[in-house]
Amino acid sequence: DGGGHVPAVVIGTGYGAAVAALRLGEAGVETLMLEMGQQWDKPGADGRIFSGMLKPDERSSWFKKRTEAPLGSFLWLDLVNRDITPYAGVLDRVNYDQMSVYVGRGVGGGSLVNGGMAVTPKRSYFEEVLPQVDAAEMYDRYFPRANSTLRVNHIDTKWFEDTEWYKFARVSRDQAGKAGLGTTFVPNVYDWDYMRREAAGEVPKSALATEVIYGNNHGKMSLDKTYLAAALGTGKVTIRTLHKVKAIRRQNDGSYVLSVEETDAYGKTLAAKEISCGHLFLGAGSLGTTELLLRARETGALPDLSSEIGKGWGPNGNVMTARANHMWNPTGAKQSSIPALGIDDWNNPAAPVFAEIAPMPAGLETWVSLYLAITKNPERGTFVYDAAADRADLRWTRDQNAPAVAAAKSLFDRVNKANGTIYRYDLFGTRLKAFADDFCYHPLGGTVLGKATDLYGRVSGYENLYVTDGSLIPGSIGVNPFVTITALAERNVERVIQQDIKKK
Ligand code: FDA
Which residues are 188's β-sheet partners?
Answer: 117, 153
Residue 74: is its pLDDT beyond 90?
A: no
Which residues are 117's β-sheet partners?
Answer: 188
113, 169, 208, 290, 367 from 211: Cα distances, Å: 9, 17, 7, 30, 20
| pLDDT attached to residue 498 | 97
Range 46-71 average pLDDT: 92
Return the active site residues.
356, 442
Range 91-119 average pLDDT: 98
Range 180-204 average pLDDT: 98
Question: Can you tell me the distance from the alpha carbon of 280 to that of 220, in angstroms, rounded to the nearest whole number?
Answer: 30
| pLDDT attached to residue 295 | 98
Residue 419: is its pLDDT beyond 80?
A: yes
CA nearest neighbour of 494 among 151, 138, 13, 211: 138
Range 420-430 average pLDDT: 91
Task: Ligand 1: list residues with CB < 6 Å.
Answer: 11-17, 34-37, 102-106, 109-110, 113-117, 213, 244-245, 283-286, 288, 292, 441-442, 469-470, 480-482, 485
Q: Which atom of ligand 1 lies closest to the CA of 223? A: 3
Residue 304: is its pLDDT beyond 80?
A: yes
Distance 485 CA to ligand 1 centre (A): 10
Question: Can you tell me the distance from the alpha carbon of 125 to that of 138, in angstroms, rounded to the nearest whole number?
Answer: 13
Among 36, 263, 320, name the best residue to mutate to test ligand 1's pocket (greatest count of ligand atoms within 8 A of Cβ).
Answer: 36
Q: Which residues of 50-140 form beta strands (DSSP E)?
A: 91-95, 100-104
Residue 203 is classified by DSSP as S
CA nearest neighbour of 120 among 92, 104, 141: 141
**What's the farthest any 2 CA atoms get from each other in the chain?**
72
Do residues 453 and 472 touch, judged by C-beta distance below 8 A?
A: yes
pLDDT confidence of 1, banded at 50, 70, 90?
low
Residue 121 is classified by DSSP as P
Question: Can you tell me the distance from the alpha carbon of 152 to that of 363, in angstroms, rounded to the nearest whole number?
Answer: 28
CA nearest neighbour of 317 among 481, 113, 468, 177: 481
Residue 502: is its pLDDT beyond 90?
A: no
Spatial neighbors of 37 by CB under 8 A, at least 6 apart, are 13, 62, 88, 90, 104, 105, 106, 107, 109, 241, 242
Residue 24: is its pLDDT beyond 80?
A: yes
Among 185, 295, 442, name the best residue to mutate to test ligand 1's pocket (greatest count of ligand atoms within 8 A of Cβ).
Answer: 442
| pLDDT attached to residue 361 | 86
Which protein residue has the closest C-alpha to ligand 1 atom 46? 110
Q: Which atom of ligand 1 lies closest to the CA of 16? A: 51
Do residues 266 and 368 touch, judged by C-beta distance below 8 A?
A: no
Per-residue pLDDT tens over the stretch 307-361: 999 999 999 999 999 999 999 999 999 999 999 999 999 999 999 999 999 999 8
Per-residue pLDDT tens over the stretch 442-456: 999 999 999 999 999
Residue 327 CB: number of other CB atoms within 10 A? Answer: 8
Q: pTM value?
A: 0.98
- Residue 224: phi and psi, rounded to 5, are -65, -20
Question: Can you tell me the distance from the alpha carbon of 39 to that of 247, in angstroms, rounded to the nearest whole number?
Answer: 23
Question: Can you tell me the distance from the alpha carbon of 115 to that of 29, in angstroms, rounded to the nearest whole number?
Answer: 32
Question: Can you tell me the distance from the alpha carbon of 352 to that of 498, in angstroms, rounded to the nearest whole number?
Answer: 39
The DSSP annotation for 230-264 comes to HHHHTTSEEEE-SEEEEEEEE-TTS-EEEEEEEE-
> Directed axis angle between helix 482-496 and helix 15-26, to 10°?
30
Q: Which atom of ligand 1 lies closest to the CA of 489? A: 51
| pLDDT attached to residue 362 | 84
pLDDT confidence of 504, banded at 50, 70, 90?
low
Chain CA centroid to CA 351, Å: 24
| pLDDT attached to residue 79 | 75
Residue 326 is classified by DSSP as P
Residue 486: is its pLDDT beyond 70?
A: yes
| pLDDT attached to residue 3 | 78
Question: Can you tell me the distance from the alpha carbon of 85 to that of 66, in angstroms, rounded to the nearest whole number?
Answer: 8
